[in-house]
Structure 1
Amino acid sequence: MVVFALIFLMTGVLIGRLVYLMVFRSEYYVEQAKDLHERERDIKAARGQILDRNGVVLAANRTVCTISVIHSQVTDPETVIRVLTKELGIDEETVRKRVEKVSSIERVRTNVDKSVGDAIRAYGLAGVKVDEDYKRYYPYDTLASKVLGFTGGDNQGIIGLEVKYDDYLQGTNGKILTLTDARGVEIENAGESRLDPVDGNNLVISIDYNIQMYAEQVAEKVMEQKQADHVSILIMNPQNGEIYAMANVPEFNLNEPFVLNYDVGTDMDAAKKQELLNQMWRNPCINDTYEPGSTFKIITASAALEQGVVTLNDNFFCPGYKIVEDRRIRCHKAGGHGAENFEQGLMNSCKQVVVKKQLEEKFEREKTTLVFDVPLIYNVNDKKSLRRTEMTKRMNDTEERKRQILRTATDLFAKKGYHGVGIDEIAEACGVVRGTVLRYFGSKQELYKEVLYGRGNPSGEYIIAACEDTSIPVTEILDRIITLTGQQFESTINYVGSEMKQEEFMQNFDVIRLPVYRRLKECMVKIIERGNREGIFRVEDPNMRAYSIVFAVFGVGESLESRQVMEAEMHEIIRRMLDL
C-alpha cells in the first residue's frame, strides 16, 4: 500500500507539472521556441534627406549592400571564400576567418556597391546573404561640408547638421524573420515574416544652394589672392536671422571625410592624423571667436539712429584716416571716401562715419541714454551693465577733460592764432600738465585740427556761444568769426589736400569747403540777430543776409591763395553787407 501511495503521489505531481507547463506557461515556451528557431535580419531604414530652402537635395542616400554568411547553412566553404575574396577585394585570410566562424550570422562587409552585391547574389551560394542597405551620399561633394557634416559607417551622424538632427533623420529599421531547424538551417517552404522599415524625416534648411556655391567661390578667390589659411563667409537675412550661406574654405569632400584636404606626407601616426581631421572638420563660423571689426558698425549706427542723435542725411568727410590718441586708424579706402552722408558712409563701410568726431560729439550729449539703454537692446546682462556703469563714469570724466582742453585751446587760438599759442600755455590755462594735452591730442597740430573742424567744430560753437555774451562787442566777435573762418578754411584745404590726389581734390573742392561755410552761416545768423536786438544792424531777414555773406565769401575762396588776403576780403564783404 505504501508503494502504491508513493507511485500515485508522484504521478499526480507529474500531471500537475505538465498541466502548469502546458496551460499556464504555454505562451512563454512558445516564444522561447520561436526565438530559438527564428533568425532575424535587419532591413535598414532610409535616412531622411537634407534639402536647401528651394528643395535642392544636399544629402541623399545611395543603395548599398551588406554581405553576411550563416555558418550552419554554408555547404561549400571553399567556393564561398574564393568568390567573396574576388568580388569584395579583401584578403583571403580575413574572409576565411569570417566564413569559418561558428555564429548565427557573421557580417563579412558593409557598404558594398549594389552592383557588387547583385553579382554575389547571382552566384546563388548557400549560406551567403546579400541584404540591401543605405549609405549617405552628398551629390555636391564639398558644398557646405562643415555645415552639413557627415555620417559614419552605421549611418549615424558624426558632425554638423547630421549629428544635430540625427534623431529626426534616422528612421526605424525593419526586420526579416525566417524559421530554422535545430541546426540553424532555414526550413524550406516555411515562409518568412517581415516588418517594414520606417524612413527618416527630411530636413529642410535655410541655406540656398546658389548663394552657398557663389560664397564658396568668392571665398576661394579671396583665399588665393590674400594667401590666407582659410576664409569664412556668413550670409544672413537680417529680418529673421535665416542663414543663406555659411562658407568655410577650404572645405572637405563629404563623400571621403577621412581623407585630408591637403598633402601632409605619409609619416604620420594615428593620433596626429585624427587631430588634423578634427581641425579640417571644424566650423570656424560657429566654433571660433573674432573681433567684431566692421560688423560692429551696425551696432553703433543702429544705436545712433535709435536715439535720434544722427540722421541718414547728416554729412561727413572721410580723408582716409582718423587720429585716435597716438594711433592713426585708416579707412579701408586709402584715399578716403571724400564727402558723404551717414547712409552713404554705412554703404561704404567707412570708418570715419562711425568714429567721426561730429558723431562722437552727438553721442556725448546723449551719453547716459546710449550707455544704459542700448545694451538692453542687445541683451547685455546685469553684471555687465554694472561694470559698464563704472566704465561710463570714467569715460565721462575723460571726455569732460578733453572738452575743457578744446574750449581753452579754441579761446587761445581765436585770440592769438596758431603760431601765437604753445602746448605749455594751453596746459597751464587748463590746469593740467603738458603730457595730458599730448595724451589726448598727440600734438599741437592735431589739437588745432580738432578745434577747427573736429567734434562738431568747437571753434564754431565757441563763436556761437560768444554771440550771446553781451560783454563782448559785436565788432570783436565779427573779427573772431573772420579769423577762425580763415584759419579753418586754410587748414582744411591744406590738411585734406595733402591726403588726396590733385584730381580727386579738385573734383571734391566745393564739397570739402561746405562744412567751413555752413558754420560761418550759423555764426553770422547769430551775430546779425544780436546786432538787430542792440540796434547795430537793421536787417529784416538775418537768415537770408547770412546766406548772401556766405555766398560772397564762397566765391572769394575759389581764387585767393593767402589767408590774410581772404580775411581782408571777408572784412570788406561783411562791412558792406551789414552797413558797418
Structure 2
Amino acid sequence: MSKFNNKKIIPRYNVLVFLMLLTAILVVGKALYIMTAGRTYWMEVAAQQKKDNVPVTPVRGNILSCNGELMASSLPEFKIYLDFNAMKEAGNDTAFIDSLDIITKGLNKIFPERKASRFKKDLMVGFRQESRHWPIWQGRIDYNTFKEVQSLPVFHLSKYRSGFHWDEFNARRRPFGSLAQRTVGDMFGAKDTARCGLELSYDKILRGTNGIIHRRKVRNKYLNIVDTPPVDGADIITTIDVGMQDLAERALIKELKEINGKVGVAVVMEASTGDVKAIVNLDRGSDGVYREVKNHAVSDLLEPGSVFKTASLMTILDDEFVDTTYTIATGNGIWDMYGRQMRDHNWNRGGYGNLMLPWTLKYSSNIGVSRLIDKFYHKNPEDFVQGIYDLGLATDFKIPIVGYAPAKIRMPRKNSHGQYVNWSATALPWMSIGYETQIPPISVLAFYNAIANNGKMMRPRFVKQIVKGNEILLDNKPQVVKEQIAKEKTIAAIQRILQEVVSEGLGKNAGSEKFPVAGKTGTAQMSKGTLGYKSGETNYLLSFAGYFPADEPKYSCIVCIQKSGLPASGGGMCGPVFRDIAEGIMAQSLKLDVKDSRTPGSVLIPSAKKGNLLAADYVLNALGINVNGGWGGVYPFGEPIWGTVVSNRRSITLRQEKPSNSHLVPDVHGMGARDAVYIMEKRGLKTRILGRGMVLEQSIGAGTRIKKGMVCTLKLG
C-alpha cells in the first residue's frame, strides 16, 4: 500500500496548477495590455532609455561678401517644451504649481502678445495630462529669448528635474536683409533646406555632414553617446560687394518707381576678372513694393534689342567686309525688308538719310544696321551667326545658380536640297538688330565686359573661395572663356564708337561729367508668344550696357527694365541708373588724404556729432586735429564714453556727460545713427531710422520710462 494519500495530495496539486494557470493568464493579459492600450506610454519610455542612430545636424556654413562681411549665417533657434512627467518624478510638480503665477507673468513679459491667464490655462492642460512634450510657445525663438525663458522659476533647473527641454534648429539669417537675396539664396525655414541661389547650388558644401549619436540611461541619467561626430559646413566667399550692391539697388528702385516699371535688373562686373560685384533683380508686387522674386539676370531668355547691334557691327568689321568709313542709306526712316517694314525710331521725323557705319550705332538705326548685315550675309546667314558665336554671345557660362539659362541663338540649317528649313528672308535683318534671339542679361554683360577687357572674355564669377576655418578648400580663380573675341583693330574701333554713343549719340543720359563712359542703349518690344508683339498694351525691354571709365575700364554694367506702354527709352530710363551706379562706385573707390586739401592759411576743423567720444577722439587725432579733453586717440575700441563735442576755429573739446538712468529713454539728439541705435538698443528699445545725418527728432521723448516692445523712430537730417 502506497504511503501517499492521493485524496489529500491531488487537491493540493490542483490548487498549485490553478495558481500557475492564473499567473500565466495575468502575464498574457498584461502583455496584451502593454501591446495595445499601454503601447504609446512604453514607447515613450523606451525612446528615453535608448535611441539608436539619431542624426545630429551640423552647423551650416556662412556666405560672405568679397570683403568678408556676413551675407548669410546660421543662428540657433529653439522650440521649447515641458515634460510634466519628468517634473513629477523629480518631485518638482509642487514647486511648479506654487510658482505658476510668477512663471506665467514672466512668459507674458517675454511674449506680450499672449496674456498670462492664457499661458496659465495652457500649461495646466499639459500638467493634468502629464504630457512629456507640451509646447510652451508654438513658434521658434532666438537665443536671447530662449535664455530669458530658461531663467524663469523651475525652468532654470536641469531638464531632468524641471522637465524644461527644447529642440534646437540652425536658422538662416541675412544681416543685410534683401540685398542680393535671389543670388545669395533662401532657405525653407520649416525644413531647413535650401530653395534657391547659392544656398541651393552649394547646398552640399554649406550643409556639412550629419553626425550620429545614440542615447542611453546610465545610473538614472541620460547620456548622449557620439558614434560619428557631425562635420560643420564650409563657408563660401562670394564676389559680391555689399556697398556696390546697395548702391545699385537704390538707384534701380528709384527709377522703377518713377516710370512704374514691372521688372528691373542691374548687374555690375569687374572688367579684368569677371567678378560679379552687384546683381539686383526686382519685381513689382501687387502692393506696389519691389522685391527680389526671381533671378532675371541669369534666367530671362529675352530678345535683347539694340544692345545686340554692337555685336552685329563687330562681326562685319571683323570679317573686313567694310570699315568705319562705309556709308549706308537709311532713307526716310522706313525701309521695305522682304515684304516687312523696318522702321527707325525717328521715322515720323524723316529718318536719318545716309549714315556712316559708326553713326548707325550712335543713332541706333535699325535700318542702317540691318541693311549692312543683309547686304553682305543674306546669301550665307550662317556666316553671320557663326561670327556672333565667335564673339561669345552664345557661350554657356555654366553659372552656378539654379535657373540659369544659356543664350539661344539660332543657326541656319539647310535640308538635302540646299533649302533653309529654319530660316526666312526676314530672319537675318531682324536678328541683326536684336530680335530672333534669346539672351539673358548676364551673357550680354559678359560680351560688353570682354570689349572693356580689350577682347578677353571672362566667365562671370560669383564665388571666389570655399574655406573652412583658416583652410582654403577651393580657390576659384578667374577663368578666361575666350582669349580674344575679335581682332584687335575691331576691338579698338568698337571701343571708340561705344564711347561716342554716350558722348554724342543716344546714350548721353548714361554719361558722367567726372569720367568717360562707353556703352549702348536698347529698346525692344517684348513678344507675347503666340500673340506676337501688338496684342493689347505693348511691353518693352529697355536696357543700357557699357563700361566705365572708358579710357581705363574697371567695371562693366548692364541695366534692364521691363515696362508697359510709352514712353519707353533705354537711354532715357536705363541710362540714368547706369550713371548713378557708375558715379557711386567711382566715388567709393576714391582714396583722398585730408592733408591734401590744406593750404598755409586754411583752418580745417571738421564738425563732430555728440555720442561716443572715444570713437570721435580716435578719428580726430588720426586727422591731426587738436583735441581738448581727449585720450590722444589711443582707444579706438572699448566701452563707449558718452558726451558732447564743442568746436571752434582751431580746436575741438570733448565733454563727458554722466549717463542717464538705464531704465529711461536717452536723449540722442545730435548723435549719428550708429551711436543713437547702439545706446537705444542697449537699453532694450527697438529703433527705426528715417533719413541720413544726425538725429533731429526722436518719437519717444527723453526721460520716458522704458517698456518692453517700445519702438523709437529716429529722424535724421
TM-score (norm 2): 0.39
Structure number with the higher strand fraction is: 2
Which structure shows the higher helix fraction? 1
TM-score, normalised to structure 1, is 0.46
Larger Rg: 1 or 2?
A: 1
